[in-house]
Structure 1
């Protein structure tokens, strides 16, 4: 039996059914099973909140310690282990030091956030005593020094291949950068970590033990019981990953795509390891073309308007460089001859506006940020080849008096974007979904 790399989400640590089913599925396995673990979401949120507040309020050590201990007690129903207590003390000491210094670097921020996974891993280890913990230091898991968005570079495969059969718990989302500093590969990037290990070990498939939010035709709070998508390409999955109602890291496909290693999303509801969704290089075009209608209202629109915008070279490059240097992510760019539109998160809109104003473009007559918007993504391979898909999308919104503020299609064969008023988000999803799936 071949080895396995399985990503186990932090939200499943407290889910007895998901954990017991994974244990049962791996029981009796005569192979090495690497379970890559992400942080418990609430624990990560707690650490992020306290780091953000450390300059404004004096750290309440006792309160924070009790909150951290609460995650252990709630999951295991006993007092924290010595290892867990030491980790909690180290975290609080680090936060107090940052408060005294009055500032922190990206590297120090990563070091703080890594405690969410270290603590989560100790909780899982206490629940799964038969498993062995492997730290990134143990296997020389090397990453680039792009703190907060690092890239995996190498791992000591010889050490991994010399291990005896069994279950090994590996913290996801971080590795060792220069000078052995810890660098994170993203907020919830355990999928990416697991993908890298899968590729480096030459395994047949990456296995994800369930998703917090399945790959479904639409957001379940908008469409009741949407169907789970059975087959996706790497590109389709990556596109959907940028919408928060899908819990999949966009970089997961990077290590796997060229090696044609599939991703299997396994159901955690039983111990059978049933595949709910498979993601690979095989382009599978469905009858209705569209596979999902995704949405997000976490957007703002940075607009640069002017009659010479399309003629003046370098405007787009200067803006993207400025935002990149400031660590602001651009979700998408939609352009015309008189306007360049950057789709950003809500949080980054106002920050980007200040930065771009400093560039002083003579050919740009108006720079502004538009809020209270929603982005609708209609995803599925074959849009450019299939007659009438775009017409069907626009008819669905036009017939229901939904104003499209901005649209973009043609840049990719697999997605069309609509920007609408935030108040029209759910209505847009329902009408577009009905246009493609009501008569499926």
Structure 2
């Protein structure tokens, strides 16, 4: 609220005078008066905050790419443009490695229903991708196959570790208390797996080793993995989508190391070995987009 008030107070009078205002988007000032940076893609988030504060009709974000694609063209040259996707789909794609927008860009705009137009600086007349509350609907709700190679796993092994009260909270708070971000958590009766950025793996391992008494039998570090994210509205409600994905992957002799369903209604992810990443992405993309199986979409 305070940021929005300041933006309206300082920017609106200038805009009403017909001025073009340039605002630095990569850094800002905290409530304590300290200068802080927003990290990679922070300018996208800043633009969204400004657009929401000024109640803009649309936020245009200009990039050096055509827009959101059905896969990374470096992996799949036949990747297709995604003309329309929802806030959730865009956020999940950003989270799973499609570094087009900052993952939090949609947050300030969602409540107001403001659209985001992703445009290409190298081809200004191209339609790009439009992000709105609605998503294009089809019989096959796959929008894109994203991937992320900045993944490592810290496995906490112990009998009943996933069911013992307090263990997950204790280990999680130890990791986050060390200034590290947990990307995801997968639990079972005998193991809790934390998905982390590769650079954070050793630090998290060392922090948990210092716990006393130790809530685990052994710790295991896994670095040779990559994440594949399948994104699409209604993905988990349509029968047979997951089976089709994993059948396509299995036919390429790719072993799935870990699977996660449920946290998001528009995304499923799984892990494979790094050497198998491109084969997995290609297999799923071919199954849905290049086999004559892609259904036409409608609003």
CA deviations on 1:38-69 (whole Å, 9 max, x unpaired) are xxxxxxxxxxxxxxxxxxxxxxxxxxxxxxxx
My pick for the range that moved more, 389-398 or 163-172, is 163-172
Counterpart in the other structure of 2:63: 210
Q: Are positions 1:198 and 2:45 aligned together?
A: no
In the alignment, the residues of structure 2 paired with residue 182 and residue 202 of structure 1 have an alpha-carbon distance, to the nearest angstrom, of 26
- What is the CA–CA distance in structure 1 between the aligned matches of 2:226 and 2:4, rounded to whole Å? 36
Asked if the contact 2:29/2:35 (under 8 Å) is kept, the reply is: yes
| Runs of 5+ unmatched residues, structure 2 | 295-299
| Residue of structure 2 in register with 1:266 after alignment | 119
Q: 348, 353, 358: which one pairs with 2:210?
A: 358
Partner of 1:73: none
> What per-residue deviation string (whole Å, max 9, x for no partner) do you get for residues 274-317 of structure 1?
54111111143333211111112211101012222122111221
**2:12 counterpart of 1:158:** no
Within-5 A mapping of 1:202-281: 202-212=55-65, 214-272=67-125, 274-281=126-133
In structure 2, what is the equivalent of residue 290 of structure 1? Answer: 142
Query: Given that residues 61 and 118 in structure 2 are in contact (C-alpha distance below 8 angstroms), is that contact kept between their aligned partners in structure 1?
Result: yes
* Cα distance between partner residues in 1 of 2:64 and 2:88: 18
Larger RCO of the pair (alpha carbons < 8 Å, separation 6+): 2
The normalised TM-score by structure 1 is 0.62
Q: CA deviation at 1:352?
A: 0.8
> CA separation in 1, counterparts of 2:174 and 2:202?
14
Higher helix share: 1
Q: Alpha carbons of 1:244 and 1:389: their partners in 2 closer, same or farther (altered >3 Å)?
A: closer
**8 Å Cα contact 2:67-2:119 kept in structure 1:** no
Which of 196, 219, 241 is 1:389 aligned to?
241
Q: Quick one: distance in 1 between partners of 2:87 and 2:212?
A: 40
Please list every run of 5 or more consecutive structure 1 residues that lacks an aligned counterpart in the other structure: 1-140, 143-151
Match for residue 154 of structure 2?
302
Per the TM alignment, residue 153 of structure 1 is displaced from its structure 2 partner at its CA by 6.5
TM-aligned CA deviation for residue 363 of structure 1: 4.5
| Contact 1:308 1:363 survives alignment (8 Å) | no
Matched, 1:435 2:291: no
Do 2:7 and 2:50's aligned partners in 1 also have CA atoms closer than 8 Å? Answer: no
Q: 1:182 to 1:245 in 2, by over 3 A?
A: same
Distance change (3 Å), C-alpha of 1:156 and 1:293: closer
* C-alpha contact 2:167 2:215 (8 A) present in aligned 1: no
Helix, strand or coil at the partner of 1:251: coil
Structure-2 separation of matches of 1:405 and 1:198: 41
Structure 1 residues 341-380: aligned runs within 5 Å: 341-360=193-212, 362-380=214-232
Indicate which of 314, 326, 347 corresponds to 2:166.
Answer: 314
Taking structure 1 as reference, are residues 181 and 271 closer, same or farther at Cα in structure 2, changes over 3 Å only?
A: same
Query: Counterparts of 2:284 and 2:213 in 1: how far apart (Å)?
Result: 39
**C-alpha distance after superposition, 1:377-418 (max 9, x if no partner):** 111111222110010011011122111111111222211111
**Aligned counterparts, 1:52-131, within 5 A:** none
1:300–1:369 contact (8 Å) kept in structure 2: yes
CA distance in 2: counterparts of 1:407 and 1:347, whole angstroms:
22
**Aligned-pair Cα RMSD in Å:** 2.0
For 1:225-279, what per-residue CA distance to the aligned partner results, in whole angstroms no more than 9, with x for missing partners?
411111111111111112444321011011111111111112323454x541111
Q: 1:432: how far off?
A: 1.1
Distance 2:32 2:239 in 1: 56
TM-score (norm 2): 0.90
Determine if contact 1:297/1:372 at 8 Å carries over to the other structure: no
Q: 1:418 aligns with which of 259, 267, 270?
A: 270
Aligned residues: 290
